[in-house]
Structures are given as structure tokens and as C-alpha cells.
Structure 1
């Protein structure tokens, strides 16, 4: 399907932050594949421009990353949930089981889900949606082409303001194909 078709397929619902707490998505990064590297380390290893040194049970040191949100080469990164945890909560994750929320917070099956970005851009973005925060203008199309499939993958809703922002942004983007695989 195309990006614009994906936007049209987003389920519509008002957002509700009632009851949101970060720890309802788990107490932190997990090691889902039991290889010694938690989700954060897995993303850092996958996205490194200059790979970090790995010692012991996945202790990382050194390395560089490219933060495409703000076009910065960085040595200290944050891992960003492209669709923030609070936004996921507002959009339907509040009805999920605890285990499904932990899976969302640590999802590695789609490389668009988690991004190594500059600490500055991640803190500026915080828990805002596409109507409230965007990366540099040159990255708007890439950002929404990640946002929409993530929302579709997890059957997360979009409210009216978010859908309007996505539609407005997509009008200036190539109508590129997007793919996603729904999670149960």
C-alpha cells in the first residue's frame, strides 16, 4: 500500500492519557533473545556508523552514530521509540496486556520502530506525536513513512489532529509504498 493509503487506514479515535506511567511498558530494556545484549545495545550495534567495542556480557564502549532526526554525528545516543510509549498508550496500548506493552517497548522485528538518535533530539521530541514534533524538514517524509506503519503494525489509533498533520505532511512527500506486518 502507499503512504497515503496507510494514513487513510489508520483507525480513528480520541486519545486518552489517563493512567499512563512509563513503567507500564516494563522496567527497562530486556534481552529478548538471551544473547547478553539488551534491546538498547542491539539497536546501537545495528545502527552504528563506527561500531562500538563489545566486552563481557555486551558492555559497549566507543562508537559513533548518525542521528537522522537532526543530522548529527554522535558518540552518546538515546534510543527513540518513533511512536513514543505515551503516544502508544494514548492510541490504544492502554488496553493491552503488560506483556504486549513490554514487547512494544522492546520491539526489534521492524528496524523503523527504534532509532539511535541524539540525546538533544530525543529530549525535544519527548512523548509528542507528529502534530507536535518533527525532525528536520528534510526528514519529514522519512519520519512519517516510519510512523504510519508502526501505528498500523500495532493497530494504534490516530486522533483528528494527528491524522490532519499526517495528511498535510504526506501531500509534500512521494507516495511511497509502505509495508507492515500486524502483531497479534
Structure 2
């Protein structure tokens, strides 16, 4: 009788297996919209800069390929190169060729490039990241899941921008404005970061003018 009872439990477990199996992961949806429409999707909030330090965002980490010896910065430089650099021991990069889209400057020395957070770490902190876990802030600071998040630009452009939003800084190259604003807004939507009214007003000038046909593509990070 015990043997039959045990077999019965086993059969019951098998019959219930489809019911108790783990739920499949929910697929992430990529959204495509216009810059003007994307502005209406951004939450609006006053910025909170208190307590910010760069140390709150761990970067650069080991990158996507944990075994290649390259950190996130190096991997972005390799991915964005117009002409691939030589990759030496400990992922030391040399030669190669890049074009900084902010100012259309050609660069052949990786040490003269900055890998820039499109939405700077200070801006991210003030726009909602101050309430994130350390793990989420690290993911943000090393985000290679969207081309807009991290870009290779000249050191001069990076220093000029610093932590400013589009109300305070735009790329010096006019033809880069629409791409930059698309990258900015898509990054904020990807990470559910808020914007302040002055920032939105500055972007709206372009969204309703020269950038009205610019697309914004993003996949939200949950």
C-alpha cells in the first residue's frame, strides 16, 4: 500500500508540473516614437543633487565579456571605432580611429577620448538614481545595452559638457543636435529618469523644429 501511495504522489507531481513550473521571463519591449511624443512620456520632477558623488556609481566594471580583460570603457571604444584599434596585453588599446560625433573630430589615440555617459552620472543622480540600489547604479554606469547610453567623444567635448543637461549644453556641431537629444531622451526613458521643466523646454524647441522627424528608440530597464 505504501508503494502504491508513493507512486500516486509521483504521478500527481508529474501532472502538476506544468502548473507549478516557473513563469517565463517577460520579454522586454522596444519602443519607437518621435522626439516630440517622447517628451510627454518623461516624468517631471525637481532635481535633487544632495549627496551626489561619482563613487555612488561603480565604473568602469569588467564589461560584457568578463574574460577578455577589457573594462566597459575599452569595450565601448572597440565597438565605436571606425578603424579597429590594436588590443594588447591587459586590453591596452593603441592606434585605431574614431570620429567624435559631437564635434566631428577624428581621433587616432584612444587616450585622447572620453567614454561619456550621455546622461551624466550627476544628472542621473538628481533625476532619480539617488533612490536606486548600488547594483542598479552600477548597471547604469556601465550600460552597453543601448548605443545611446555611452559614447566615445573628444576629451574637449566631454569637459565642455561636464554634468549639464540640454538647457545648459548642446554639441558644438549643429548637425549633431538631433541625435544628441534623441540619445538623451531615450536614455532617460530607458532608465525611468525624470526631467525638470527647463530641460524639457530646451528640448521642445528642437522637437518642434529642426528635430521634429527625429526618432527615439528605447527599451526600458526594469
* TM, length-normalised to structure 2: 0.80
- Whether 1:106 and 2:142 are equivalent positions in the alignment is yes
Paired position in structure 1 for 2:62: 31
Larger Rg: 2
Moved more, 157-166 or 169-178: 169-178
Secondary structure of residue in 2 paired with 1:86 = helix
Tell me if structure 1 keeps the 8 A contact 2:120–2:163.
yes
Q: Pairwise mapping of residues 83-122 of structure 1 onto structure 2 (< 5 A)? A: 83-122=119-158
Tell me which of 192, 196, 204 is aligned to 1:155. 192
SS, match of residue 116 in structure 1:
strand
Identify which of 44, 56, 63 aligns with 2:96: 63
Q: Secondary structure at the match of 2:146?
A: coil
Structure-to-structure mapping, 1:1-184, within 5 angstroms:
1-26=33-58, 28-32=59-63, 33-34=65-66, 35-74=68-107, 75=109, 76-135=112-171, 136-172=173-209, 173-184=211-222
* Contact 2:178–2:214 (8 Å) recurs in 1: no
Which has the larger helix fraction? 2
| Number of aligned residues | 183
Give the CA deviation at 1:52.
1.1
Query: Which one is further off, 61-70 or 88-97?
Result: 61-70
Moved more, 141-150 or 174-183: 174-183
Give the Cα separation in 1 of the matches to 2:161 and 2:96: 24
> Which ranges of structure 2 fall in alignment gaps of 5 or more residues?
1-32
1-structure distance, mates of 2:220, 2:165:
21
**CA-based RMSD:** 1.1
Q: Name stretches of at least 5 consecutive residues in structure 1 with no aligned partner.
A: none
Q: Deviations over 1:60-97 (max 9, x none)?
A: 11222100101101122001101000000010000000
Output one character per residue of 1:118-174: Cα deviation in whole Å (capped at 9) or x when no partner.
Answer: 000000000000100000222111100111110000000000100101111212213
Q: TM-score, normalised by structure 1?
A: 0.96
